[in-house]
Structure formats: C-alpha cells, structure tokens
Amino acid sequence: MFSFQPHNQATKNYIDKLIGKLKTCDVIAMFDIKTNNILVVLDKFSTKICRKNLEKNNKWKISDISELNFKENTKKYHNSYYQCTKEIILPTLPRKSSNYYIQIRNFRTKRNVNVELEKKASFVNKFKNLFGHFSGTNIGYRANILKEKDLTAIKNLFNNQTSVEEYRKIILAFIEGYEAGLARQTYPYFGWFKVMCTLITGTIFVMFWYGVYLVGSGLRFSMDGIKFRPETTDITFNDVKGVAEAKQELSDIVEFLKNPEKFSALGAKLPKGVLLVGPPGTGKTLLARAVAGEAGVPFFHAAGPEFEEILVGQGARRMRDLFKAAKEKAPAVIFIDEIDSVGAKRTNSALHPYANQTVNQLLTEMDGFLQNEGVIVLGATNRRDDLDKALMRPGRFDVEVVVDIPDYSSRKEIFDLYLSKILTRDVDTSYLAKCTVGFTGADIENMVNQAALRAAINDAEYVSMKHLEYARDKLIMGPERKLKINDTETNSITAYHEAGHALVAYYTKDAPALHKITIMPHGHSLGHTAFLSNKDQIHITKSKLLAQMDSAMGGRAAEELIFGPDKITAGAQSDFKAATSIAEEMVNLYGMSEKVGFGVRMGNRTDGYPSGPNANDLSDNEVKRLLQESYERAKMILQKHAKELKKVADALLKYETLSSKDVEAVINGEKISTETLKNQSRIIDPSEHVL
C-alpha cells in the first residue's frame, strides 16, 4: 500500500489506479517476461516518480532475513539507501503523514518452490520436463519469453534522464497493451506432450507385464526349443575301449536304428529305452554318442538338471519339446544324462505338489510311442536305486546295460588308445594297467594328459614312465607341495605316522600291497601312504576288510606308542573315517557280525532284519568293537616291531619318500643310497613286489 503527503496525492492516485488494474499473468503474456521481472518494472514506475522524496526520507533497505520484530528492522536499516538490486514484489509504503518508509520483504511462493524442485529434480520430474510438463509455470508463457536483448531494451526506457511526462506516456502505452492482452482468449493447456508421455509410459508398463505373463505361460520356454537341435556325431564303437560287454548289448540297438523294418516284420516289439548304469567316468556318455554314430542318426542330448525350472510346468514342457524335436528327425537317439535328477521317485509331499510333473511327462512320452517311430531313449545314471519304479518297468526302459569299472585288460586297451595320441618312449602299458587298479576310463585319460603336460613343462621330447608315475601319484595322493614343513617335531610325528601304516600293512596277512610312503605334503595332508592292489578284486573277504582296518589304525597307534597319549594328533581323521566305513559295511551290509546277524540296514530302510532302538544300539556297539579290536591289533604289531618302526621313520626323515622296495630294504637292514633312490623305477609290478 502507498501513503503520500498531500502534494503527491495526485501521483499516488494515478499509480494506484494503474496497479489496481494490472494482473500479473496478463502482464507476463504481454511482455513475455518472468513474473518478478514485470514487478521490477512496476516498482521502477513508482520509485521514479517519487524519487526525490524516497532519497530524502528512505530509512529501509532490502532484507532477506527479517529481525524478530518491526522495531528491530527499523533500527538495523536506519539511514540506508534504497536500491532496487533484486527482483522484488511490489513495495508497500506504510501510512505516514510526513515520510516515505519502504520495507521490502521476500517470501517463498509456490512458484519459487517449484523452481527449486526443478533445479533438484528427481528422475520422474526430469522425465516430465523432457516432454514439456513444467510444474508451476505455464508452458505457453515460457514458449514466448523474450530474448535477453529485448528485455534489456525495455529496461533502457527507464533511465535517469526520462522526464515524468515521458514516464506517463510509457505507462499509457503499457495500459493499452494490457487492455489488448485482456481481449485475447486464453485456452486451457491440455499438454499434448504430457499426453504423449502418459501414453508412452502406459505402453511400456503394459508391454512389461505382458512379457511377464508370456514367461509365466510358457511362451518363453517354447522359444527355448531351439536348444534341442540334433547333433551329428562321428564317434563309433572303435573309439570306445574297455567296455566290450556294453558294446555288445548296444549293438542290437544300433541294428534296430539301421533296419527297423527287420524287427517289425517279424512282429517283434521294438525297444523304447536303454538305461546305462555305472560309476562316474566309465564312458556312459561316450557309449551313447557311439550308438548314434554307428547308426548314423541324429543325436539329441539333454541333462537331467536342465529340466529343473523355477516356474511350475516348465520341466514338463521342456520334456515335450525334446521328444517333439526327436520325432520330427526320427530315427533318432535321445540321451538324458543324470536321469536320476528328473526320473527320481515321485513324492506325495504337500510342500511340492507339482514336483512330479516332469517325471510324469517322461513316463507319458516313453509309453506313448508308436511301435515304429524309430526313437530310442538312452538314460545314464550312477544312482539306479533312486529311479521311480514306473520308469524301470518293461515298455519304458526295456534294456539295462551295466558299465562297470574296467578290469586289467580293459585298462590296457584304454592306455593303448590314449597313449597312441601322444609321443611316448619305453612305456609299458601292461605295467600301467597293473598299477592303476580301480581307475576308470576318465581317470586314465586324465592321467595320460597330466603326464603329457608334465613332459612339456620339463621340455622333454616325449612322455616317459617317469612322467606317467608323476601323474598317477598326483591323482592318488594329490598335488605334491614343493617344500617340506620346516618343523622338526611335526616332521617326526608325520614320519612315525606314515611308518606305522607301512609296518602294519607289511606284517598283516591279506593287507593291500604298499606302493609308496612320503612325508612331503600332498593336498591337505602332511604325508601319504599309497597302497597298490596286486590284482582286480572280485571277492572281498572278511580277512581283507580287517587288514584294511588294521592298516588304517597303524598311524594313530604309532603316534601313541612313540609320543604318548597326550601327543596324538588330528591327522588320523581320514584313517578313522575309512576304518569306520569298513566296519559299518561289515555289520550292516555284509552280515559279518555274529551278534547283529544277517540283514541289510541303509539308514531307516531295512531288509531281512528288524530295526529299532535296540537293533541300532546293537549295531553301533558292534562297529565300536570292531574298531577297538583293530586298533589293538595294530598297536600290538608296532610294539613287536618297534626297531623296524624306528628304522623306517628315520629313513623317511632322511629321504622324504620311500617306495615299497625301499621299505623292504630298510626292514631287512639293507642300506639305501641316494643314487639308488634317484635311479630306481617308481612303477612297481605288484605281482613281483607285494609286502
């Protein structure tokens, strides 16, 4: 509000009339400048007309921070000169008869808040601004804002040399423009950019949830069908060694795939599935590829875990797609590796009501074949007992082929196959086959490859027996560490521990043949004692099992005898684990306990013998008795041969590694030279050297 002295009343009325008629939004539309800018112009009108009185009596200045009360503001800014240095609101002049007092205060309007929000905009606000949705400001006004030079030209009109009469003319022109602005019709802003933004956002939202729906409904899975592409394999039975019996049985399947009319003409029912059962690494996958290669038909491969899906029904759909792809390429071979993971026994658990869908689909697909469709299913597993009984009935897996660990002749064939692919010299596969009892085809392949790598590292021109021995020990004992433990007491305990194993095996009937002992760390152990079977074990007698237990107990027995019961170590953990496993099998599986009797116990399942708390306690007591008796026998042997125990331990501390020949020489009192250790062959024929 303005308050003037009587001689300025006319001027005051003129300005009041002008300001009363003005509306901020229309002034903006006319001058196309920001809100505060036009208010600055109006402020210049009033201050120019009343300049003399303001310069004489002004006691105020702009304050962004007000004091506690009006009186404090008056004292703080007394005798200050008013200058319009900021964009301000219209000044308010207090009513006073003599002087002009102008107090200018800034406050935050809604527009100021919106401007600050736009400066510190979130991602959503930035996205809105990108499409023209400016909160707090009319987009139509912003589109017509004058350029900086135009705004400067308007401000230059109000210079200090302009007379009052000229100011009045400018004001009249301003009013005329203002009136013209009122006549212009302002249409409400619908914001086509805002509409476009909304449509795009809505479209993206709908497409996202539609994609989620498609995944849930299984459309994504149908696109996964491209994974089931047929493979053309050139592997034949000539590339598979050591499984002669399995190849003989599978040759009938090959004949069916080559000439199915031969079987159907006689009215014979064609086989639908073949189950390959055997330990890991025996060549089940290689046999399946060889079947397809021999028959010259497409080969479809899938692993059991691939059918495990998070979404319900995906496993069954994948199974349908697999068989559909195979039928289109018939005759064909479908190979499902680790079939126990998809064909496990069905459950009635309420927690997993859909867990049986995949195996049910497999049963349906196999039982729904036409007799002449020409699709054979090969399944591989090492856990046959976990398969569902319905999967094993005739009409699904008609043939079961056992792929067992290779024997001596089979190992020799496998060595001949893999050694023919590398450069070798002076390698005897007969010795190698004898020294690798229990090795599978995959183990032998890995052993030959490790030997070739070792030869390359040593810059050798060919692979020799030395490299093969290194590879074998690495597979059996673990990788050897380069340095021995630098602790005398630790090495002494380790030496007596390993010597205890060797001495008990040496003096025990039917014990496994010793191959090598060492106090060099291998893997996680500080030392190792390797035994070597002299032939393939077809029957395992009770005497052999007890001898294995006694040999395992020899390490702890030696520690207690030499260092006392307070110095025994935790190094016998693996020995006790092996001995306990043998004792439990003797009692619960082999019927070798008189007190427990006959019967098979596997967890909570029984066969031929009642189970219960009393039976379990009786079984545990028998296992404990067998272990204790085995420990006492090992302890008795070491007490009887204490001198030999010390000799072997001292030799280990000196030479670090001893072969079976070295141990025998030490026991017999013969000396071992360093040269002998370096030059002797480490591959021992078990038929000639059995301790």
Positions annotated as catalytic residues are 498
Burial pattern 420-445, b for ≥16 Cβ within 10 A else e, equals eeeebeebebebbbbbbbebbbebbb
For 498, the token pair is 């390993």
Residues 230 and 332 sit within 8 Å (Cβ to Cβ): yes
Across the strands, what pairs with 301? 335
CA distances from 165 to 11, 255, 280 (A): 12, 118, 108
Residue pair 476/530 in contact (Cβ under 8 Å)? The answer is yes
Measure the CA dihedral 36/38/43/45, to 10°.
170
CA dist 319 → 208, 637, 690 (Å): 28, 61, 54
Give Cα separations from 369 to 222, 327, 392 (angstroms): 22, 9, 16
For residues 291 and 251, give the distance between their C-alpha atoms in angstroms, rounded to a whole number. 8
DSSP state of 6: G
Nearest alpha carbon to residue 149 among 36, 256, 33: 33
Quote the tokens at residue 474: 């690495």
Cβ neighbours around 201 below 10 Å, total: 13
What strands lie across the sheet with 528-532, from one edge to the other? 528-532, 513-518, 657-659
- Asked whether the beta carbons of 298 and 230 are under 8 A apart, the reply is yes
User: How far is the C-alpha of 582 from the C-alpha of 602, rounded, in Å?
Assistant: 14
24-31 and 35-49 helices cross at what angle (nearest 10)? 100
- Ramachandran angles phi, psi of 644, nearest 5°: -60, -35
The 3-class secondary structure across 552-614, one letter per residue, is: HHHHHHHHHHHHCHHHCCHHHHHHHHHHHHHHHHHHHCCCCCCCCCCCEEECCEEECCCCCHH
CB 463 within 8 A of CB 423: yes
Q: Specify the pairing of strand 299-303 against strand 657-659.
A: unpaired
- C-alpha 617: how far from chain center: 43
What's the maximum distance between 2 C-alpha atoms anywhere in the chain?
140
278 class by beta-carbon count within 10 Å (0-12 exposed, 13-18 middle, 19+ buried): buried
Helix (H) or strand (E) holding 276: strand 273-277
Cβ atoms of 474 and 651 closer than 8 Å: no
Structure tokens at 250: 């599978």
The type of residue at 684 is I
Q: What is the distance between the alpha carbons of residues 379 and 387, in angstroms, rounded to a whole number?
A: 11
Separation between Cα atoms, residue 583 and residue 550, nearest integer Å: 11
